[in-house]
Structure 1
Amino acid sequence: MEQIIIDGGQTRLQGEVTIEGAKNAVLPLLAATILAKDGQTTLRHVPILSDVFVMNDVVRGLGITVDFNQEQNEITVDATNFIDHTAPYEYVSRMRASIVVLGPILARCGEAVVSMPGGCSIGSRPIDLHLKGLEAMGAEITQFGGDITAKAAKLKGANIYLDFPSVGATQNLMMAATLAEGKTVIENAAREPEIVNLAVLLNKMGADVRGAGTETLTIIGVKRLHGAEHDVVQDRIEAGTFMVAAAMTSGDVLVKDAIWEHNRPLISKLLEMGVEVTEEAGGIRVRSTVQNLKPVSVKTLPHPGFPTDMQAQFTALMAVVKGESSMIETVFENRFQHLEEMRRMGLHTEILRDTALIHGGGNLQGAKVMSTDLRASAALILTGLVAQGQTTVTKLEHLDRGYYQFHEKLAGLGASIRREGGA
């Protein structure tokens, strides 16, 4: 069993760190390549993550050629030949995010069969908004034997209001609408930077998508899309994780090429806490003295609110700040599991439904802990940096879904950390 071992308590992170392309951006970008009947699509700055390999397999399972050049961090996709309309269960079942192939397959083929995604350790993540939107565009949806089947000889433009600004539903419906007849308007759309990045690629492919990054998306359907070249946007969650790591270790770290606007919700809370955050030509610099930091209250919300994907890491920072902080989780109903593991390290916390009260500044001790999800794994490792003694973190398959060489990057900043047990 692989594990990360941290000798903590004296770590002060210093230096520069390079951030990968965003996992949450590249997965829908790969789904979008399904739409290109002409020419190849090349994605650059692709992160080498287990989720990316799974999505590559999903796309290959449709009969599409996918070439991942890991040395160059590039993926080239050729979808010009006939493609299968059924996404193989063996791949789709391994990752919930693969549901975003439903819209592109339906738009390209007139029919799509995709396995129903299963449960998730951080919440149920229903896909009803995806299906309602496709039905509004004229699709006939049936569910049987664990599969979702969508049929529409030709999708029609429609006015769609999302009850919740779901990122996945926005992506699925935006891609489906690119080949629909007429105009589609999606109101209360997700506004994340990853949505903007997807819209940029679609427009390069010949689509007409307007309003990305705002609450209202307008898509004018076209008859055909072609391949294009595109850069995956930087991973704001990885960048944010290293910002928090610098803050909680009284560090001085330059997060190279980090985008201030993408990280503004996090930065505002760091500044409120008393962390020094400055924008430089080379990126964003974070400096901190933990003893001078103040407790804060945080509430996760869809973008441009505080990101739920930074909740676990930020609670690790709260754990070292003297006084009572609070974290309210409004996006997922089961995302405080990491706090149970952090209790093993001496954290004093109370969980009241969607609110966690963090009594920070106490004496944290190293312990053996287990990752419960992707962001929890990062939070436990960060806590290990400041806990006295040795911390061992297991279940690293969660970490590998969203962080590339995480322990090596921390070691490069001065952490005493190693990974053991691999082949």
Structure 2
Amino acid sequence: MTKYVINGGNPLYGEVSISGAKNAAVAIIPAALMVDGVCRIENIPQISDVSMLLNILKQMGAEIRTVNRHTMDIDCTGIRTHEATFDMMRRIRASYYLIGALLGRFGVAKVAMPGGCNFGGVRPIDQHIKGFTAMGAALEVKNGIVNAETATGRLMGASIYLDVVSVGATINIMLGAALAEGRTIIENAAKEPHIVDLANFLNSMGADIRGAGTNVIKIKGVKKLTGGFYSIIPDQIEAGTYMAAVAGAGGEVTIKNVIPKHLECISGKLREMGVEVEDLEDAVIVRRAATLHKTNVKTLPYPGFPTDMQPQISTLLCTAEGTSIITEGVWDNRFKYVDELAKMGCQVQVSGRTAIIEGVKRLTGATVKASDLRAGAALIIAGLGADGTTEVEGVSYIERGYEDLVEKLRAMGADITAVAMPDEPEAAEREAG
């Protein structure tokens, strides 16, 4: 196991380049399973979730060739099974995207329920089941396994209204519908950038998907997807995390390889707090010199403020002047990390989905432990701006979604080091991966 040791108080300067989007990659890689031919996918982030999915495809019979560190040729033509290795699938949230991909290709799927981060919220798949049932599949969840099967060997197009805006259900239904018989309409669909990226990937392979990025997506099923080339979009949340890191530690950093429009919901809140954010064509410049101001934040589906940035901005507000209110509008019980921030001097009161934060002048270093991916990022941000030394444990969560985090921060002037720890039998670490 590894921990991160951070000596705080060093402002960040220079530049950082953002990797491919985790949330797009973990949808596009399962989508490659549906393609007859070679997909060359560029800008793949080097993170543990991606490695896990690639290994799952390999065990199912896919041929995967590394072109360079961020480019892979994936050929799933030879896959003949509708099952995957359950132990691996239980360790990542994106395992459920294999339901849509396998149903689309084979009309049958056997997939483990999703794992991933342990922030206490349940991961219901009721909207996924609703969509696939409308498309003619029978689904049963038993002993943590989803068994899905169509009577005809192919999903049928259907009109589906999602009861809640669900990113996962939108992606999963879109995957299955790409090879379904007839037309599928998804209403009240999620609009996140990685949904648009998945649609663009599928369309580049021969699918007929329109309306991605709006609340109504229309998919005309095709008989076959063929190989091609595609480059994954930059990671909105990784970019937002480094923006928050500059806001927390101070300094000035140019964040390159971004789509500024995707960052507007994050940039707007940082500007309210007194952080300077300058948009360029494919970069943003972030400057922090003044004291941070209080603000209120409510997480919402895109284009609202992302739930995956909630812990990071909450950490910033711990040292902002005045009282701030954070309302979590997506997940239950996502404030588990505040107990760790309290060890560093943060004053936070949590009631249900709301946190009230009283700003303090300075945080102090402490030994803390990440409870999930974004909570881990928040603890690093806290450590960068704190007095003294912070040790962050549970970094396997962080490595699920951030490529070369330590190296990127060190290049900007942060004093952060990855240190090996003696192995201990911690079930939560093994399960989340």
TM-score class normalised by the smaller sequence: over 0.9
Q: CA separation of 1:194/1:235 partners in 2, compared to 1, >3 Å: closer, same or farther?
A: same
Cα distance, 1:120 vs. partner? 4.9
- 1:50 equivalent in alignment to 2:48: yes
Equivalent residue pairs, number: 419
SS of the equivalent of 1:337 reads coil
What's the offset of the Cα at 1:282? 5.2
Residue 294 of structure 1 and its aligned partner are, at CA, apart by 1.5
Aligned counterpart, 1:108: 105
* 1:149 equivalenced with 2:147 (yes/no): yes
Deviates more, 1:320-329 or 1:230-239: 320-329
Look up the match of 2:87. 90
1:132 aligned to which of 120, 130, 133: 130
> 1:352 aligns to what?
351
Retained in 2: the 8 A contact 1:41–1:227?
yes
User: Which residue number in structure 2 is paired with residue 298 of structure 1?
Assistant: 297
TM-score (norm: length of structure 1): 0.96
Paired with 2:274 and 2:268, the residues of 1 have a C-alpha distance of 10
- The Cα offsets for residues 272-326 of structure 1, whole Å up to 9 and x where unpaired, read as 12211111245100112242x3100000011111000000110111112111111
Deviations 1:36-62 (A, max 9, x none): 12x201110111101011111222232
Question: Which residue in 2 is equivalent to 1:383?
Answer: 382
Where does residue 61 of structure 1 map in the other structure? Answer: 59
Q: Which runs of 5+ in 2 are unaligned?
A: 423-433
- Whole-Å separation in 1 of the counterparts to 2:411 and 2:190: 35
Give the whole-Å Cα distance in 1 for the aligned partners of 2:78 and 2:7: 53
Q: Secondary structure at the match of 1:268?
A: helix
Give 1:82 shift: 4.2
Amino acid at match of 1:78: D
Contact residue 35 and residue 79 of structure 1 kept, 8 A: yes
Distance 1:282-1:196 versus aligned 2 partners, 3 A rule: closer
SS in 2 for 1:213: coil
Contact 1:347-1:362 at 8 Å conserved across structures: no
TM-fit CA distance, 1:195: 0.3
Q: Which amino acid aligns with 1:170?
A: T
Q: 1:131 to 1:289 in 2, by over 3 A?
A: same
Partner of 1:330: 329
Letter in 2 for 1:114: V
TM-score by length of 2: 0.94
User: What does 1:111-190 correspond to in 2, within 5 Å?
Assistant: 111-118=108-115, 120-122=117-119, 123-152=121-150, 153-190=153-190
Q: RMSD across aligned C-alpha pairs, in angstroms?
A: 1.5
Indicate the residue corresponding to 2:73 in structure 1. 76
Letter in 2 for 1:241: T
Shift of the 319–226 alpha-carbon distance from structure 1 to 2, 3 Å rule, reads same
Q: What's 1:266 paired with?
A: 266
Change (3 A) 1:16 1:225: same
1:198 to partner: Cα distance: 0.3
Distance 1:392 1:118 in 2: 26
Contact 1:208 1:221 in 2 (8 A): yes
Identity %: 43
2: CA distance, partners of 1:347 / 1:67 = 47
Distance 2:233 2:290 in 1: 31
Q: Can you give the 5+ residue segments of structure 1 that lack an aligned partner in the other structure?
A: none
Q: After TM superposition, give the deviation of residue 387 of structure 1 in Å.
A: 1.0
Q: 1:203 to 1:290 in 2, by over 3 A?
A: same
Q: Residues 87 and 356 (structure 1 numbering): CA distance in 2 closer, same or farther, change over 3 Å?
A: same
